[in-house]
Structure 1
Amino acid sequence: MEQLEELLALLDFKEMIEREDIPKIDLYMDQVTQLFEGTYGSGKRNEKEKILTKTMINNYAKDDLLFPIKNKKYSKEHIMFIQFIYQLKGSLSINDVRTVLEKLNRAVEEETVNLDKVYDQYVSLMTKQVEDFTAALTPLSEEADEAAKRMDHQDSSYMRQLYLIFSLVHHSNMYRKLAERLTDQLVELEQDNSEKN
């Protein structure tokens, strides 16, 4: 478990762009990528990995994941949406990300939602889930230990690591599949609503 705690410290899942971290003035694309790189850079697997690139941001805009950008500058609201996209794209396809954010995107354009409140609740929820994830690692690690012991293999540290990876990936897949099904329900809700109107 000590090794996992060291990895968690390195990954620093608690690091997140909070609303107060977003400058009050609109940012150019380079400044946006620097903000994300500065916040999430410690979680990179290697120096070549990019957290967020200009191409990614351009693609988000082209794919209608972001409401229109004015004068090549990104508002606080754009930064919030890029944060949502950054998190969602780790598990969902770009089409699913678009589906998930479409209604919120529309509400921001129509000014019918307080995005600051939405974002603050998002940060609060994500922070709590980091704590939950950390707490859940102890039993997961113990289960991997037990599975490795039952194998009675000469390289027990490898077997333990193998079972832990299997477990983490399995959890990840279960969460992803559930998120995909919930996304499908959003599509069904939109279709039902448009049929009623």
Structure 2
Amino acid sequence: MNEQSLKTAITELELTKHMELSSIPNISLYMDQLTTLFDQNLSHKKRHPEDKLLTKTMINNYTKNKLLKPAEKKKYTRDHIILMVLLYELKQISSMDDIEALFSMIPAQEDPQYLDALYQTYLDCDDQLLADFPAEVQSIFSAVKEKTTPSISGEWLNEEDIEKTNTLLTALLLFQTGVHYKRLGEKIIDELLK
């Protein structure tokens, strides 16, 4: 992997593409309509084309585990949809217990606009963080190249092996960075629940 292919990979992820509030209908949806909405708005988040974003079983399990209120007459409200989008994002890195703890911090509100405001703030902050993401990844890639070239290159490694090693180390450090953020998120949850 070189710098250009790394930039291309970041662009292909479409990280700034979200299910915007304007895409979430103000009317309640049946389960099939809900899964279609997710497929239409979040399919770019799939790692593999055959991956499922949201299934009936997932929705039923979220309700059974009290992460979601039961559907109202088999229909899911705008609040349900917002919570399911957040659930989808969180379950990729968090345990269901941690997600339940986070959702328990949502106040039992009278204001029907609360989740809209929370979700919009979440999207705005995520966009702000993503503005720095390419530079942060580039910094990791540059540090790897700087450290590996003198320490790993030698007569026993050719250019292709050095590039593979740089790619390996970049991926390892990206995962490790994710672990650091995850652990801090867990610590925050643990402190708030004391």
1:25 offset after TM fit, Å?
Answer: 1.2
Tell me which stretches of 4 or more aligned residues in structure 1 moved more than 6 Å: none
Q: What's 1:167 paired with? A: 173
User: Do structure 1's residue 136 and structure 2's residue 139 form an aligned pair?
Assistant: no
Match of 1:177 among 165, 176, 183: 183
Match of 1:103 among 78, 102, 105: 105
Name the CA distance, whole Å, in 1 between partners of 2:142 and 2:36: 39
Name the CA distance, whole Å, in 1 between partners of 2:29 and 2:112: 24
1:143-189 Cα deviation digits (max 9, x unpaired): 1222331310321110110110111011011011111111111211x
Question: Tell me, which stretches of 5 or more residues in structure 1 are unaligned?
Answer: 189-197
Name the CA distance, whole Å, in 1 between partners of 2:127 and 2:8: 19
SS of aligned partner of 1:107: coil
Q: What is the identity, as a one-letter code, of the residue corresponding to 2:45?
A: G
1:27 offset after TM fit, Å?
Answer: 1.0
1:62-120 Cα deviation digits (max 9, x unpaired): 1111123201111111111111111111111001100001131x524x54872221111
Q: Give the structure-2-normalised TM-score.
A: 0.89
Match of 1:17 among 16, 19, 24: 19
Name the CA distance, whole Å, in 2 between partners of 1:13 and 1:100: 23
Q: What is the identity, as a one-letter code, of the residue corresponding to 1:129?
A: L
Structural RMSD (CA): 1.6
Q: What's 2:193 paired with? A: 187
Name the CA distance, whole Å, in 2 between partners of 1:36 and 1:18: 11
Name the CA distance, whole Å, in 2 between partners of 1:174 and 1:87: 17
Name the CA distance, whole Å, in 2 between partners of 1:147 and 1:27: 53
Q: What's 2:145 paired with? A: 145
Alignment check: 8 A CA contact 1:107 1:113 kept: no
SS of aligned partner of 2:105: helix
Name the CA distance, whole Å, in 2 between partners of 1:73 and 1:60: 15
Q: What's 1:31 paired with? A: 33
Q: Give the structure-1-normalised TM-score.
A: 0.88
Which shifted more, 34-43 or 176-185? 34-43
Alignment check: 8 A CA contact 1:100 1:186 kept: no
1:15-53 Cα deviation digits (max 9, x unpaired): 111111101211111222222222221232222211221
Name the CA distance, whole Å, in 1 between partners of 2:27 and 2:77: 7
Paired residues, number: 186
Q: What's 1:55 paired with? A: 57
Report sequence identity in percent.
Answer: 31
